[in-house]
Amino acid sequence: MATVEEKAESGGRRVSEEVLRGFFREMLLIRRFEEKVEERFRAGELPGFLHVAIGQEASATGVCAALAREDVIASTHRAHGHTIAKGTPVEKIMAELYGKVEGCSRGYGGSMHLYDVEVGNLGANAVVAGGMPAIVGAALAFQMREEKRVAVAFFGDGATNTGTFHESLNLAQLWKVPAIFVLENNGWAESTPATQQLPLPVDELGKRAAAYGMKLLEADGQDVEAVYLAALAAREHALAGKGPVFLHLRTHRLTGHYVGDPQVYRDRDELKQERETKDPIRLLGARLELRDEDFAALDAEVTAEVEASVEFAKAGTDPKPEDALKYVYA
């Protein structure tokens, strides 16, 4: 949870109900998008390797809401939510998943390489931690040019075991660049639980930031308001020239690692319980005391948006095979 101190750092802002309702809509849009992706993959319509962010909608929504359009992000293999939250229309994402020219990466990237530079999305990355150093470099460019922008890297707990992660944090803190490292800690590295990949308790991964003397902010990743406030505080800290921030969000992956993952490694009862108690959309819905008819109306709206994205994607243009060589060099 965002601490009182953090809320104070962010100017003691309260999040209005109107804003929270906006978050709710976006999180529901992400959820329905992800469910549609699972459905269309199982129907055999989507090629490739897909990872959905069901259960992690609050971190994407809360963090990106705290950013300005000119701020940049680098995402992970679990990228759909971040991409939607940073402002790419769902039809461009769905078209990408169908491999169409109208896709946000023109059919060259796919699910794990969603880009949209116009809205500050520098790309999702299929190598765990692979996008982190470039975020340090982007932040360095902003610092050198004295631009009031931040660069944000999303990554998971699995990434915190890589050398890439440690080199990125070290350099970012050394040079005090305006970067935010958003740890979406879902406690799983693919199928491997925290106990088999982390030498410290899963909730204590913030200590890895402390090792570099980096500012640490922590929030409940299932509470979008807490995420948003912490991200605002992180952005203010970074823009004030005080150096990068490590934003630790404890979250829950309520599905498999990839679409089609049978999750043989996961305790069924535990997963069921997580779905009932840790679903960020349910949690916010309860808090907003949404009436059934309000929810139904909102749901119908975002579902229609997602359906339209599928129609848009299916009607899209297939790239010419020989265009595979088009962007090898600038």
Partner 1 sequence: MPELTYREAVRDALAQALREDESVFIMGEDIAEMGGSMAVTQGLLEEFGAKRVRNTPISEIAIVGSGIGAAIQGMRPIVEIMYEDFLTLSMEQLVNQAAKHRTMSGGQVKVPLTIRTQGGAGWSPGAQHAQQLEAWFVHVPGLKVVFASTPEDVRGLLWSSIYDDNPVVFFEHRTLYPLKGEVPSKLEPIPLGKARIHREGEDVTVVATGRLVHEALQAAEAAESEGISVEVVDPRTLLPLDEETIVGSVRKTTRCVTAHEAIVRGGFGAELAAVIQLGAFDWLDAPIERVGARFAPLAFAPAMEQWVVPHAEDVLDAIRRTVARSS
Mark the segment that binds partner 1 (CB under 8 A) among 17-25, 53-61, 115-123, 217-225. Answer: 115-123
The amino acid occupying position 81 is G
Q: Is 316 in the site for partner 1 (CB under 8 A)?
A: no
Cβ at position 139, least distance to partner 1 in Å: 8
CA dist 190 and 262 (Å) reads: 12
CA dist 22 and 66 (Å) reads: 13
Q: Is 327 in the site for partner 1 (CB under 8 A)?
A: yes
Nearest to 32 by CA among 11, 61, 53: 53
Helix, strand, coil share of the chain (percent; to 5): 50, 10, 40
State the binding string over 81-110 for partner 1 (x if CB under 8 A, else -): ----------------------x-xxxxx-
Mark the segment that binds partner 1 (CB under 8 A) among 30-38, 81-89, 131-139, 241-249. Answer: 131-139
Residues written for the chain: 330
Q: Is 134 in the site for partner 1 (CB under 8 A)?
A: yes
Q: Is 40 in the site for partner 1 (CB under 8 A)?
A: no
Contact status, residue 254 vs residue 278, Cβ threshold 8 Å: yes
Cβ at position 146, least distance to partner 1 in Å: 11
Residue closer to partner 1 by CB (options 76, 222) is 76
The amino acid occupying position 237 is H
Mark the segment that binds partner 1 (CB under 8 A) among 119-127, 185-193, 261-269, 292-300. Answer: 119-127
Q: Is 68 in the site for partner 1 (CB under 8 A)?
A: no
Nearest to 151 by CA among 248, 52, 247: 247
List 127, 286, 297, 315, residue binding partner 1 (CB under 8 A): 127
Q: Is 137 in the site for partner 1 (CB under 8 A)?
A: yes
Residue closer to partner 1 by CB (options 13, 113) is 113
Q: Is 140 in the site for partner 1 (CB under 8 A)?
A: yes
Count Cα atoms within 13 angstroms, Cβ side, for 90: 22
CA dist 104 and 125 (Å) reads: 14
Place of tokens 């520098």: 122
Q: Is 130 in the site for partner 1 (CB under 8 A)?
A: yes
Q: H or E stretch including 73?
A: strand 72-75
CA dist 249 and 123 (Å) reads: 21
Q: Is 321 in the site for partner 1 (CB under 8 A)?
A: no
Size of the site for partner 1 (CB under 8 A): 42
3-class SS of residue 220: strand
Contact status, residue 58 vs residue 227, Cβ threshold 8 Å: yes
Q: Is 243 in the site for partner 1 (CB under 8 A)?
A: no
Sign for the pseudo-dihedral over CA of 163, 152, 178, 19: negative
Q: Is 49 in the site for partner 1 (CB under 8 A)?
A: no
Question: Residue 57 to residues 25, 29, 169, 227, 251: CA-CA distances in angstroms?
Answer: 11, 9, 25, 11, 9
Mark the segment that binds partner 1 (CB under 8 A) among 7-15, 160-168, 195-203, 255-263. Answer: 160-168
Q: Is 192 in the site for partner 1 (CB under 8 A)?
A: no
Cβ at position 166, least distance to partner 1 in Å: 9
Name the residues that contact partner 1, by CB under 8 A: 72, 103, 105-109, 113, 115-117, 122-123, 125, 127, 130-142, 144, 151, 163-164, 167-168, 170-171, 174, 326-330
